[in-house]
Amino acid sequence: MRNHLKALQRCAAVGAVALAAVSLQPGTAQAQDPGPHPAPSVVGGTPAAQGEFPWMVRLSMGCGGALYTPQIVLTAAHCVDGSGPNTSITATTGVVDLDSSQAVKVNSTQVLQAPGYNGKGKDWALIKLAKPIDQPTLKIADTTAYNDGTFTIAGWGAAAEGGGQQRYLLKATVPFVDDQTCQGAYGDSLTPGEEICAGFLDTGGVDTCQGDSGGPMFRKDDSGAWIQVGIVSWGQGCARPGYPGVYTEVSTFAADIRAAAASLGG
């Protein structure tokens, strides 16, 4: 377990920011991290345009996600509580403004959490919706070919560490950080091969934050199409120098995700 530092997963309780240790489940109250906090600022984000990332999903437990199929959302394992029937999650899609009258809201029917998930690595899950969403989907990487370069991140999470959730979708770009460098920050807490890191190591200032958990990290593939390479998972605070964001390495689990989606029938 990540016990050498207070690693913060990036989910948020409804109506509040949940800064939490690795064992946090959505809605669980935890003491805030006592470490130094950066000055309040947008964590490198700018507003996304309507329709720019049409597969983005906001989940009612305080997480993000992406449409893997029209009826299945790919998110983080730590955003859900196990597998099985679940009608308690509402997915909001189709808008950058969560208060828009054009928002499409669909409830969940079933959740599948990554088999063997125990809080370290394997941080992916699927949520089946009650009906398909008429929006484009985001394909996932099934090789490591795109696990470098510059990535795009997006979400409705906090715009500064300890801040409130956002009404409008924000986006930013972050550079790849190699495993060796990332382990220099996180030591044994990092699971190479299952996690990928990104961020501005020297300066910080750009990062995902609480409420962005489960959302995609993505880039363009060789044909110019968006492809998902990561799932927002955890980090030390938000946008702190020396501590890049940590994301589930999607290519490692691509076959498992496909099989799981097929089992859900979506």
Three-state DSSP state, 232: strand
Length reported for the chain: 266
| Contact in structure between 43 and 239 (CB atoms under 8 Å) | yes
Helix, coil or strand: residue 265: coil
- Give, rounded to a whole angstrom, the gap between the first and last alpha carbons of the chain: 33
CA atoms within 13 A on the CB side of 89: 33
Contact residues for 89 (Cβ-Cβ < 8 A; gap 6+): 59, 60, 61, 80, 107, 108, 111, 127
Q: Which of 78, 108, 212, 251 is catalytic?
A: 78
Q: Tell me whether residue 123 is one of the annotated catalytic residues.
A: yes
Q: Spot the catalytic one: 33, 123, 207, 212.
A: 123
- Of 189, 213, 233, 251, the catalytic one is 213
Check if 251 is active-site: no
Does residue 213 carry a catalytic annotation? Answer: yes
Q: Which residues fall within 8 angstroms of residue 66, CB to CB, at 6 or more apart?
A: 55, 56, 57, 73, 74, 75, 137, 138, 215, 216, 228
Q: Which residues are designated catalytic?
A: 78, 123, 213
